[in-house]
Structure 1
Amino acid sequence: MKTTGDRIEIHLNKQRLIFLLISALAFFAIGIWFVANPGFFKRGMIGNPAVISGIGMLTLVVFGLSSFVLGKKMIDQQPGVIIDKSGITDNSSGIAAGHIPWKDIKEIKPARLFNKKFVNIVLKKPISKNNGAKKKGKKDDDIVVSISNNTLQCSFEELENALKSAFDKYKVS
C-alpha cells in the first residue's frame, strides 16, 4: 500500500496473478485433453464421450477467458485500487467497477461468500428488479460493488480499514 498525501494506492499482487494464470492455463490444458480424447474416460456415469467433450468445451471457455483476463492484468501497470478525495477507483479484477465518487456511496461493509471475504461498496442509486416498473410493496435492491484483496498487495483488514476510514473522511451526506 502506497500513501501519498490524501491518495492511497494498493497495487496488484503480480505473484498471486502469476499463480492464478498458471492454474487457469493448467485447467485450459485439461479442457483440451477432454475435447481431444473423450473416449479415454469410459467408466462411471460421466464416461459418455459427449459429456466429457461438453465438460472439456466448458472448461476451455471458462479457463480460456480467465487466462485472457489474468494475462491482461499481468501487464496492467495501474494500481488495483486508488482511494482519494474524489472517490474509489477499482481496477482490481477483470470486471472492475472503475471510479466511484464518494457522493454515490451509501455504505461500506464487509461480506463473506463461502470462505472468501469481500468489501462491499453499497451505492445510493437503487436498481429495480422489475425494470423500473415499481410495484406497491416492492423494495428496490441496492447496487453493490465487491472488492476482494485476492489480487491486491494487502490483507483484507488493510483494504477494509483503508476504505472505511476514507469513507468516513470524505463521505457526502
Structure 2
Amino acid sequence: MDEVIIKEKKVIRLIISGITFLIVCIYILTVGIIERNLFLIIIGGISTVLLSATLIFIIKNALSSIPLLIIDKNGITDISTLFSVGFIGWQEIKSINVRKKSRKEYIIITAYDLSKLMKRISPAKRVAIKLNLILKHLPIEISALSLATADIKFNGLVSLL
C-alpha cells in the first residue's frame, strides 16, 4: 500500500470561529467577576481554559506540517484530535467500521488489545480517553468533523480504509 498523508487545510474559518467563541467566553468570565456571579465565573473560566487549549492546538497544527492522518503499509497514524492514540498497526486492528451517532459520522477502529495501545500514550491522553469512555465515546474514533479541514473528504477516507 502506498503511503497516504492527509493534511489540514482551510483552517482560517476554524481559527476565526475559535477566537470569536474565546472572546465570548472571556466576556462571560468578566461579567461573572464584575457581578460576583459564581455560576458565570465557573462557566466562563472553564470555557476559556478549554477553548484556549483547543485554539492553541488548532493553530499549532495549522502552522506545522504535521498531518492529521497517515495511512501506510504499517498501519494508521491518527493525530487528528487531542485524544488521538497515534500509531495503530494493521495487526493491532480488529475491525474498521463507520458509525453514525447524533447525526455525525465516525470511523470506528476496534483494537484487539486496547490496554496495550493505552500504555503507549501519555498519561494525560489516557485520562482524556477514559473520560471519553464515560461520555459513551469509543476510544478510537475519527470524526468526520475533525477531518472537515482535511484535504480529503470523509467518504474518500472511508473508501481508502
TM-score (structure 2 length as normaliser)? 0.74
Q: Does the Cα contact within 8 Å between 2:33 and 2:41 map onto a contact in 1?
A: no
Give RMSD over aligned pairs: 2.2
How has the CA–CA distance of structure 1 residues 72 and 39 changed in structure 2, closer, same or farther, with 3 Å as cutoff? closer
Identity of aligned residues (%): 27
The SS at the match of 2:151 is coil
Greater Cα shift, 70-79 or 146-155? 146-155
Which 5+ residue runs of structure 1 have no aligned equivalent?
42-47, 128-142, 164-173
Q: Distance in 2 between matches of 1:146 and 1:18?
A: 25
Q: What is the match of residue 107 of structure 1? A: 95
Count of aligned positions: 136
Name the CA distance, whole Å, in 1 between partners of 2:71 and 2:33.
Answer: 53
Do 2:93 and 2:111's aligned partners in 1 also have CA atoms closer than 8 Å? yes
Which structure has greater helix proportion? 2
Question: Which residue pairs with 1:24 in the alignment?
Answer: 18
Q: Within 5 A, what are the aligned runs for 1:69-80?
A: 69-80=57-68
What residue in structure 1 maps to residue 159 of structure 2? 161
Q: Does 1:51 align with 2:39?
A: yes
Counterpart residue identity of residue 53, structure 1: I
Q: Match of 2:52?
A: 64
Q: Deviations over 1:115-167 (max 9, x none)?
A: 2111111101145xxxxxxxxxxxxxxx741112233222221111111xxxx
Amino acid at match of 1:154: I
Q: How has the CA–CA distance of structure 1 residues 126 and 100 changed in structure 2, closer, same or farther, with 3 Å as cutoff?
A: closer
Give the distance between the partners of 2:74 and 2:114, measured in 1 at CA: 21
Q: Structure 2 matches for 1:111-126, cutoff 5 A? A: 111-126=99-114
Aligned to 1:137: none
**What SS class does the counterpart of residue 66 from structure 2 fall into?**
coil
- Asked which structure has the greater CA Rg, the reply is 1
Where do 5+ consecutive residues of structure 2 fail to align?
A: 116-137
Normalising by structure 1, we get a TM-score of: 0.69
